[in-house]
Chains A and B, each alone.
Chain A
């Protein structure tokens, strides 16, 4: 009874909710202003542009608003192959990045726990490529894979590849570049998850008759899911919109164009702003749909 009296007395002492929500609002303000100015305004502008029609004056690159929703139909019918290719490349590159990163992240996060110096060194090595510009690194790969490069010369001289074949400009070259450029975004979230992984659970699993494969499938993998989900999202989303690797100036060719490269061409060369905008809006919509489906089906809320 005494406790009840005490409880109701202290409840009256609470600050009114309106006052505290005003403070919260004030704290949120900079972020909201930033989002409004730099995210919602351009997004709105992009959607408006995607619905524009060529201006009556007929000049190149001149458009006026006309609720031209046919732009979207045109985009889908004309660029279907590139759209599908973008998501195919993104899926393959994400899977490869996961397969390469998982053992690496496990090694750094679990096996190197007893050697913090080595662990830190390995992490630096994972991040080190970021110290050099993304463009430069991709151009460097272009050099390495060029027909005159040592790698191709070796392939030609040993007969692994015919002189008429090239590596640059193939699907494989673009997927390689995409995977390479985004792999740290997979490794780091996996590392942060695996770093906290309680290895005593592995002993408990093997003590309960699970062989190493079963221990991995039933314990390690489910407990790595937060890292796998955030890693795949961080890799898949930017790759789906990437416009560098697949470009003809880099690792791709006309046969490897992705949505990003088309947007790049339409905007900067053809100056077809509505089509470029419609493509961008569509890409965004598809990614949002895919991601929400993915997050929901993977059931991550169980792990958090």
Chain B
């Protein structure tokens, strides 16, 4: 079998990939291109099709339609063992009847690579588990098993490394530590990584490019900062971090900005940050971009001000306080305030105004669920 191995990874291309399962469509006409050497994350809630995508790339699932190209070569019809791809499985799937070293050497032995044990040992050393080479998988902790699974995949120098929620079973602290290690390893080996996760922090922390998936298609794709600062759909704005969303008809439009009227307040967004400029639109803002005031701040047109409203909930999360403010005719607005004081500076039930800079508003291309009518 001719497996094409490239030392620096290869690019991946999905063309119109579709996957139907009995009763539902897991993927709808997915187009995706991942450049060689990139750390790419597929982010989405469970059931969004991200794991199906990964399994199709690995060859463990056959697409109903479409093509999979790795390094420009069509592998759609190839069996998993014929693809230059390795997977770090969510369950790790280490072979219980083999030592750690034999687990890592498995792929090398299959491809009849010279000196498999030495190369396997090097890979184990890379994940700092050389000392456990002769142990069995059951004797290792979850985090160690995860690193073995990573070494077992990496040692083959695949054109493409697939990671299926590899950190899902680890506790928070270990997860953050493994994120740093994974990223460092990716930089070191320079392979193309396709990482599937439902953890938005994990995706933003590690990936060069994040694709947010929902209901079998990609909602938005881009660098983590761009995605966060400029979400284009209601789903992305809510899944990636939190957002305050306001829906209304475009009431006022100038050369550089447009405004909607919500409950007697004017909410403005710069035109170049608005996906949709006419009719009923949705404007959002991140809670940490907002501030509240005890008196009406009377700010200029470069700010949006809503209020007054009543503080109905205060949540202490450590680094910040989260305030929930109920503004009549507008709805609930969340404000994050850095925890720079010693105790909350404001009490439940107080009347406040909320403001943010117009340049921090973003206009969505769709409306949040429940607002689609008309």
Contact = CB atoms under 8 A, between A and B. Distances in A.
A208 B106 contact: yes
A214 B107 CA distance: 11
Contact of B91 (A200, A205, A208): A200
Given A200-B91, A214-B110, A207 B85 contact: yes
A47 to B, nearest CB: 41
A79 to B, nearest CB: 42
B81 A211 contact: yes
A208 B97 contact: no
Contacts of B87: 203-204, 207
Interface string A204-228: 1111111100100011001100000
A303 interface: yes
A81 to B, nearest CB: 41
A201 B86 contact: no
B111 interface: yes
Contact of B156 (A205, A206, A209, A211): A209
Contacts, number: 58
Given A203-B80, A203-B89, A208 B96 contact: no
Interface string B100-134: 00000011001100000000000000000000000
Interface string A134-167: 0000000000000000000000000000000000
Contacts of A303: 97
Contact of A204 (B3, B79, B95, B111): B95
A13 interface: no
Given A208-B156, A209-B156, A219-B95, A200 B80 contact: no
A74 interface: no
Nearest to B105: A208
B110 A200 contact: no
Contacts of B96: 223
Contact of A203 (B60, B97, B156): B60
Nearest to B55: A203
B192 to A, nearest CB: 16
Contact of B89 (A200, A210, A218): A200
Interface of B: 3, 58-60, 79-81, 85-87, 89, 91, 93-97, 106-107, 110-111, 152, 156
- Of all A-B residue pairs in the complex, the 8 with the closest CB atoms, nearest first, are A204-B93, A208-B107, A209-B110, A206-B80, A200-B93, A206-B81, A222-B97, A207-B87
7 contacts: A200-B91, A207-B58, A208-B81, A208-B86, A209-B156, A210-B106, A303-B97
